[in-house]
A and B are shown apart, each in its own frame.
Chain A
Amino acid sequence: MNHGAIFVIARLTLREAFRRRLLWALVGLTLVLVVATGWLFGKASELSPLEGGTQQLVLSQLLVMIAFMFSFVLTMTAAFAASPAIGPEIENGLLLAVLARPVRRADVLLGRWLGLAVVVVGYALAAGYLEIGAVWLTTNYTPLDPLAAPIYLAGETLILLTLAIVFSTRIAPVASGAIAVVAFGLAWMGGVAGGVGNVLNNDTLRNAGFVAHLALPSDVLWGGAMYALEPPPAVLAAAGDQARIFTISPFFAGTTPPLEWLAWCAVWIVAALAIGVLLLRRREL
């Protein structure tokens, strides 16, 4: 494989992203959102009659919900950035001139993926840390693992980006983006079903969650993000019975994702990219 070509295509993708207004519009909106939510958190904290561990629990749940919305924005961004990455460039002839060079189809797919991955992961990390920083500034709330939470979100985005880019080798951009977003929703619901199955000790629901995680492990990483944004266990313990109601919420994770599931996320990305390369190689130009 021509690693040089992968990096040339990745750089090209990055340059294209930075020249498009969409990325800068997204950055601007994110900054507005961070300022607005920071202010909201400050007000909520100031006016809340709650205190101690309970207040921290409420703040964590608010933060998790904002993170959930943010993860949806990230998913949409990844899906709609990646879905036109390959197919339209074949149809409009742009890739003909590129592939007539000493460049393999795999180089194009992996280069596009790498370039977009740098954009979405960079955006997820920057926006995630800004948000956590804004909440800390206005409320003094420090989640369990503030460094890990945006990394989990970035990983989740990477999975959706991979899915959309694989679809983009064969499916029209709008359909490809829409399928990726719907798949994200289904995976989340599968994760919620699995969580409910655990609480109710119901094997059917638990298995549904397991299958959903296998098929699209984005929810595994979302679970990691939620856990990282929750208060430390000592705070939860101090909150006592009041904490228990939160533990059955779909926005609560009792543990960090097991290592084997994190490994599965990495394997899933590699396998999906391999399938994408195979699909692209079999496509007629």
Chain B
Amino acid sequence: MDENQELTKLEKEWKTHFDRFTAPEPTREMTLDLIQKLKKIEQNQSPVDLRLELETKQNSLSTKDKIVNIFLSQWNFYGTTSWLLTGLVMIAITFTISENTADPLFGFTTWIKWITLLVIAVIGYSFRPKNEGNEIIETLSYYPIIQQMFTRFMIVMGFQLVVALPLCFFIVGRESTILYLVSSFIPVFFFGVVGFVATFWLGQKIGLSLTLIIWFSQVLLKKKLLFQVPGDDYFLVMNMIIFGLSILLLSTILLKNRFSENFK
């Protein structure tokens, strides 16, 4: 029996149980009263253009307030716990690796691999579609979708980088140098950018799959390409290339924005 047939059978079995949960029914008079009431409310409300009102309110705010508001709206919409949880996972990864590896260089390579995978997961999580009620949808309708996506990207990246950078000291201990900071920052930034840009252009599912393919190709490759550590032959060159590529990818967002404006 396939899943659909099984579900139909299950629904049939439960139909009578559900029929037991009766609900009160409004009378015809109540419906007539409701119609009168609704029309009265609508007539009494001043015919204001809600969109215009929202835009006027937005325009009266300073740039600083606008930026704070968009960050707050995205932070609240996706829930504080979902963001904070990623920090905890990152800390857990760090401790697990630091406790189980004696060689700091090997430990660092393992750590950066897991941290970047986490970044991809968080990007996927934070760009999932969500519906949390009319009020929040109206609040979010203030902002163009491009601004909202970029804000979420900045929250994810800012949060991940703030947590990742001090943790890299924990992994490499006394070996810590500015170069280790660079080699933590750039892969995290790169996978964040790839995840975001791919989601932006290709949608959440394809974008995320593509980013995961890139990540797995790097993990499975015998030759180190993206996950370089200080001391590797092409460490600086490769990190510069990755960083440059990230900036180029990010700038394609501006390109898309310009295209859509010209199109309008």
Q: Do A and B bind each other?
A: no
